[in-house]
Each structure stands twice: as C-alpha cells, then as structure tokens.
Amino acid sequence: MLSSPIEVAMVFGVALLLFGPKKLPELGQSVGKAIGNFKRSMHDASEEISTAVKTDPAKPAITAEAPQPAPTLAQTAATPANPEAKTDGA
C-alpha cells in the first residue's frame, strides 16, 4: 500500500497538519488499542470455533440445501388451491 518512505512521510505530514502535534500521539494510541482489541477478538473467535469442531465431531457439517425450483404455471393450474373444495359448482 505505502511502498516508499516518501509516501509514508507524506501521510504522516498530512496527519500532523490535520490533527496537530498534541492530538497525534493520542490518536495513534487509540488506533493501536483498537487494532489490539480486534486481533484479540479474532483470536478468541478462532479458538472458540476450533474447540467447537474438536469437541463435537458427531454433528454433521452444515450444508446448504439446493433450492427447489418454483412450480410452473401449468403445475399450479393443475393443482387446486383447496383440494377439498368442489369444482362442479354445486
């Protein structure tokens, strides 16, 4: 993403202009904490998933069922909506 030291310096310079020298360390600290929390939660989630897979091998894997095709117009016309209803009009 940032391939050269010049690009890194430019980004740092723009951040310094936008946030100022007093806010920049606070901003960096909060971003670092957020990244640490994200990594920790991802690690916890992956551990939880791996323990769930290891502890319960009897359950089959969840698979998506193939969707059933929608009935055609001819099929819906051939089957009445209420099979108990009389169709002779009496």
- Residue 42 inside a domain? The answer is yes
Average of per-residue pLDDT across 23-28 = 88
Look up the domain containing 37 and give its range: 23-56
- Residue 87 inside a domain? The answer is no
Kindly report which listed range (47-51, 53-57, 58-62, 67-71) carries the lowest average pLDDT score.
Answer: 58-62
- Residue 80 inside a domain? The answer is no
Residue 50 neighbours by CB distance under 10 Å: 10
Position 88 confidence tier, pLDDT thresholds 50, 70, 90: low
- Residue 48 inside a domain? The answer is yes
Position 50 confidence tier, pLDDT thresholds 50, 70, 90: confident
* Number of domains present in the structure of the chain: 1
What pLDDT sits at residue 72?
73
User: The whole model's pTM is what?
Assistant: 0.47
- Residue 41 inside a domain? The answer is yes
CA distances from 22 to 9, 15, 18, 26, 56 (A): 18, 12, 11, 8, 53
- Residue 30 inside a domain? The answer is yes
Q: What is the 3-state secondary structure (H, E, C) of 42-75?
A: HHHHHHHHHHHHHHCCCCCCCCCCCCCCCCCHHH
Three-state DSSP class for residue 3 = coil
